[in-house]
Amino acid sequence: MRRTSQQICHLKLYLEGAVECNRLISIDTFFYTSTELVILRLKMIIMGLNPTDKRTIYWDDGIIMVDQTMLPARYENVKITTIEELCNAILKLKVRGAPALGAAGAFGVALAACKSDARDLDTLKSKVKDAAKSIISTRPTAINLFSGVDRILKAIEPCATIEEVKEVAVEEAKRTADEDIITNKALSAVGASILKDGDVVMTYCNAGRLATVGWGTALGVIRSATISGKRISVYVCETRPLNQGSRITAFELLEDEIPATLIADNMAAWMMKEDKVNCVIVGADRITKEAVYNKVGTYMLAICAKHHGIPFYVAAPLSTCDFQDREIEIEQRDPSELIYCGKKQLAPKSVKVENPAFDATPLELVTKIITENGIKNPIELMRR
C-alpha cells in the first residue's frame, strides 16, 4: 500500500511508543500493524536515523547531561561523576523539568552504586540509600525525582552481589530514561489530535525535549502535531525569573522550525483578549487530587484562559500523577534570582523577596489532561 508523506510522519512519530506495546495502533484514520512499524524502525536504523539521538540526559560511565544554564548561548553537555556534582546540577537547574529530573534521580542512584568502593553488599546498599536521600533533598516538588530514585532502589533490593547491584542499577536507570521518550511520544501523538491546522498555542516554562529525556510533553504535543502536517505556531511566555521559556522553549522551537513568538509573562492576558490564542498547553511537575503543580505563573495563565473561554491543557505522563493525600512542598528558591538577572542587579539588594518555584492550579481550571493513555477529564482522572 502506498503511504502519503503525512502517514510516514505519523509512523515515525509512533515508532518508539507503539512498537514497544506491540499492538495495532490507530492515529486519526490511519491504521498500522506493529510489524509495519518494526520494519520502518529497522529501515531507519539502516539509514542511520536515530530518533532519540538528542537526549537531554544519558549514561556513559557517569551521567551526561545538557547544561541548561548555558542555553541559549551554548548547547553543551557536562559529565557528572559524583553525587555532589549531581545534587549541585539539580539545584542550579543544569538539569530540570520533571521527567528529566526523574531520569537524573535514576541515574544518580546508578552513579552512587557504580562509583562506590564499598567491599561488602550491605555497606554498598546503605551507601546507595544515603546518596538517594541527598538526591531527593534537592528539589521537593516534582514527583518524578522521587519516583526515579525509588525505582532503582527497588530494583537493586534483591541483588545478591556488588557486581549485580551495579549492573542492575545502570540497566534499570537506562530503562527509565528510554521509557520516558516512549511515553512522551505516545502522549504527544494522542495530544496532537486536539490541535487544528493553523492553531496558535500559548505555552509556559519549558516542557519540551530538554525538560524530559527526549521529545517533551507540552512541546511534544506541538512537535507531533507539526510533524503530522498541521501548521501550529506558539506564543512563548518568557517565564521569569529564570526564563526557561525564552531561553529553552524558544531555543527548541527555533531548532524545530516551529513558528514561535516570545512574550513577557505579563502580556499573556492581553494576547488572549486580542483573540490571538486558541489554547494553552503546559507541562506538570506533580498532579494531585486537587491541583496541577507547575512553574509559578501557570495558575495565573489558567485563570486568564478561563476568563477568555480558551481551553487550558496539561500534557503530562501518568507518572506525574500523585494519588496520595499528602502535603506538597513548594520549592522556595534563592532571592538572588529576582534581585539579579545574570550579573545585572535589578532590585535593591535588601528588598524582601518571595520566590516560590511552582504554584498549584486547581483541577477545575484545567480543561483536559493529555496522557499516554488518552485525553482525560482531570477530575475523573485524579478523583476516581
Q: Does 56 bind ligand MRU (CB under 6 A)?
A: no
Please give the residues from 137 up to 196 whose contact with ligand MRU meets the rule CB under 6 A: 142
User: Residue 285 Cβ, how far from ligand MRU at the closest point, in Å?
Assistant: 4
Backbone angles phi, psi at 282, to 5 degrees: -130, 170
- Structure letter (DSSP) for residue 69: G
Residue number, 41 or 209, with CB nearest to ligand MRU:
209
Question: Which DSSP string corresponds to 301-369?
Answer: HHHHHHHHT--EEEE--GGGB--S--PPPPPB--THHHHEETTEE-S-TTS----BSEEEEEGGG-SEE
Q: Which of 113, 211, 250, 314 binds ligand MRU (CB under 6 A)?
A: 211
User: Residue 282 Cβ, how far from ligand MRU at the closest point, in Å?
Assistant: 6
Please give the residues from 217 up to 246 whose contact with ligand MRU meets the rule CB under 6 A: 217, 244
User: Residue 92 Cβ, how far from ligand MRU at the closest point, in Å?
Assistant: 11
User: Residue 301 Cβ, how far from ligand MRU at the closest point, in Å?
Assistant: 11
The SS3 of residue 173 is helix
Residue number, 207 or 253, with CB nearest to ligand MRU:
207
- Those residues whose C-beta lies under 8 Å from the C-beta of residue 256, and which sit 6 or more positions away, are 223, 226
Size of the site for ligand MRU (CB under 6 A): 19
Q: Which of 124, 149, 152, 207 binds ligand MRU (CB under 6 A)?
A: 207
| Closest CB to ligand MRU: residue number | 283
Instruction: Spell out where 74-213 has E strands.
Output: 77-80, 200-203
Dihedral sign of CA atoms 193, 194, 196, 202 in order: negative
Q: Which of 94, 96, 166, 223 binds ligand MRU (CB under 6 A)?
A: 96
Of the candidates 149, 248, 160, the one whose C-alpha atom is nearest the C-alpha of residue 204 is 248
User: Residue 216 Cβ, how far from ligand MRU at the closest point, in Å?
Assistant: 6
Residue number, 98 or 200, with CB nearest to ligand MRU:
98
How would you list the strands of the sheet with 358-362, edge to edge?
A: 286-287, 291-295, 358-362
User: Residue 37 Cβ, how far from ligand MRU at the closest point, in Å?
Assistant: 25
Q: Does 105 bind ligand MRU (CB under 6 A)?
A: no
Q: Are 170 and 164 in contact (CB under 8 A)?
A: no
Cα separation, 118 vs 128, in Å, equals 10
Q: Does 212 bind ligand MRU (CB under 6 A)?
A: yes
Q: Which of 62, 97, 102, 297 binds ligand MRU (CB under 6 A)?
A: 97
Hunting for cell 490571538 — which residue is that? 276
Q: Residues with catalytic annotation?
A: 285
CA 231-237-243 angle, to 5 degrees, is 125
Residue number, 211 or 280, with CB nearest to ligand MRU:
211
Q: Does 297 bind ligand MRU (CB under 6 A)?
A: no
User: Residue 339 Cβ, how far from ligand MRU at the closest point, in Å?
Assistant: 18
Interface stretch with ligand MRU, choices 57-65, 172-180, 192-200, 279-287 (CB under 6 A)? 279-287
Residue number, 64 or 330, with CB nearest to ligand MRU:
330
Q: Does 357 bind ligand MRU (CB under 6 A)?
A: yes
- Strand pairing report for 279-282 and 200-203: parallel
Backbone angles phi, psi at 287, to 5 degrees: -115, 120
Cell numbers representing residue 318 in the block: 501518568
Cα separation, 38 vs 324, in Å, equals 38
Cα separation, 322 vs 326, in Å, equals 9
Q: Which of 87, 170, 192, 284 binds ligand MRU (CB under 6 A)?
A: 284
Q: Are 316 and 283 in contact (CB under 8 A)?
A: yes
Interface stretch with ligand MRU, choices 30-38, 105-113, 185-193, 280-288 (CB under 6 A)? 280-288
Query: Residues in the site for ligand MRU, rule: CB under 6 A?
Result: 93, 96-99, 142, 205, 207, 211-212, 217, 244, 282-285, 294-295, 357
